[in-house]
Structure 1
């Protein structure tokens, strides 16, 4: 798997950035350190000035890659969901049983993420923490409809629709496949958050994972 991922270039909507950060050492440094800084201080406290200090570069150099920190967060989230999409593809390829395929897919989108060493400048485990805490800020904005038209959330929607397709394969008569798929993906992020911060309102803990919960849910809901 590591060798496969090392040969893949993750695609992000080119409208999100001014200059592709993957094309230069500085761009990759911006991505690497922005992930670490954003996880450390939070998106609201994150600024390009603080990032510039961290990477020993002028704030203006960051603006040559991204218009603002919202676009940077969109880039990070798009990269993350594209990476998840690749993981989904490899996890479900050559799995014949439809229910086993769905369980493998749900595991990919709900499990605890570990760093993928094939992507040296991106720590997926840390990026996952940002997605858990900050992802809704990418679309809970007044510009969401326009950004949706621009295709900023296309990769995220593709991931959900992959799950929709697998749900339909398991039970074609189930009428709420889209709602179930989006609930699994959004809900798993929320359950990870609750497990880490608001432990008394979730059953997920060191023994029960969000993956356990959502696999139990699909067994209950979809099995005839």
Structure 2
């Protein structure tokens, strides 16, 4: 699967960036080092000035790629969800049973990511940590409706809708497929966060993963 993924170009809405960072060495360096820096200091204290110092480039050079740090975070999140969607598709290939396809899809979106060495400028394992800690900041803004209309979250919604369609295929009479699908994805991020930081209010731990919980949830919810 990794060989196949290495031949796929992750596409991100061109309205999110000023210049496609995937088209230059500097652009890829911006992506690579921004992931490490956001993970290290958090998005709230992350600035283009600090990133410029880290990559040995002027702050102005980063603005040639991204209008602001919010757009950079949206880009990284969009890249991540596109990468997740490709993995879902490959994991479900040649599987006829819709419940098994759903289980595989849920496993992909709820488990912790591992670094894909075939994409050297993106550390998916660290990016996964950023998604867990920071993804909601791309949504909970005053600009959410405008950015949604611009298609900033199409990839994220596509991942959710793939799970929606599987739920409907399993049980066409289930009343809440969209709520269940979005709750699985959002909830998995939250459970991962709780497991690492607020351990007394989650059952997830070193032995029980968010994946275990959500596989159990769909088994109970969608069993005939």
Coarse TM-score class (shorter-chain normalised): over 0.9
Matches of 1:74 and 1:112 in 2, distance apart?
20
Q: Deviations over 1:121-146 (max 9, x none)?
A: 00000000000000000010000000
The residue aligned with 2:131 is 131
Normalised by the size of structure 2, how large is the TM-score? 0.99
1:159 match: 159
CA RMSD of aligned residues (A): 0.5
* Aligned match of 2:39: 39
Q: Distance in 1 between matches of 2:112 and 2:133?
A: 14
Alignment of 1:53-72 (within 5 A): 53-72=53-72
Alignment of 1:92-131 (within 5 A): 92-131=92-131
Trace 1:183-198 onto structure 2 (pairs within 5 A).
183-198=183-198
1:56-87 per-position Cα deviation (integer Å, ceiling 9, x unaligned):
00000000000000000000000000000100
Match of 2:217 in 1: 217
Matched ranges for 1:18-33 at <5 A = 18-33=18-33
Paired position in structure 2 for 1:83: 83
Partners of 1:91 and 1:70 lie apart in 2 by 32
TM-score normalised to the size of structure 1?
0.99
Cα deviation digits, residues 61-119 of structure 1 (max 9, x gap): 00000000000000000000000010010011110111111100000000111111111
Q: In structure 1, what is the equivalent of residue 17 of structure 2?
A: 17
In structure 2, C-alpha distance between the alignment counterparts of 1:12 and 1:133, rounded to whole Å: 21
Equivalent residue pairs, number: 224
1:202-213 to structure 2, matched below 5 A, reads 202-213=202-213
SS at match of 1:174: coil
* Unpaired stretches in structure 1, ≥5 consecutive residues: none
Q: Which residue of 2 aligns with 1:177?
A: 177
Q: Does the residue aligned with 2:135 lie in a helix, a strand or coil?
A: helix
Partner Cα distance (1:37, 1:159) in 2? 27
**2: CA distance between counterparts of 1:6 and 1:177?**
32
Following TM superposition, the consecutive aligned residue runs of length 4 or more in structure 1 with deviations greater than 6 angstroms are none
Give the superposition deviation at 1:6.
Answer: 1.3
> Helix, strand or coil for the counterpart of 1:114?
coil
Structure 2: give runs of 5+ residues left out of the alignment: none
* Counterpart residue number, 2:143: 143
